[in-house]
Amino acid sequence: MDFTSLIDNAHRLCNQYPIVAAVLLLVLLFMAYKKPKESFKFALLLLFMAAVFYAIGLFRDTLATGTRNKDRMIQQTKGLDE
């Protein structure tokens, strides 16, 4: 998952359900106004979790490429042995 697809999904959600998006935005703004310290901590937690999931996605893609290349090399050596 890349950042562009994430933004596209958020934009699509806002277009399909504008009332839900507006209510969520109002709740977040109200929370930020009433308890700014906790809201800042929550925002940092979300940012950290997004970075972790992004890193996991990058590692998953790298691992898949390595596994695919390893399987291809195994098939090539099996073909030479026969």
Q: DSSP of 41-79, one letter per residue?
A: HHHHHHHHHHHHHHHHHHHHHHHHHHHHHHHHHHHHHHH
Residues 12 and 42 in one domain: no
Does one domain contain both 30 and 46? no
* Structural domain of 67: 36-82
How many domains does the chain contain in total? 2
**48 and 15 in one domain?**
no
Looking at the structure, do residues 50 and 40 belong to the same domain, yes or no?
A: yes
The CA radius of gyration of the chain, in Å to the nearest whole number, is: 22
pLDDT digits (tens, 9 = 90+) for 23-73: 988 988 998 899 999 988 988 998 898 888 888 877 877 777 777 777 787
pLDDT single digits (tens) 1-11: 566 887 888 88
Residues 10, 16, 17, 21: what is their CA dihedral angle, to the nearest 10 degrees?
30
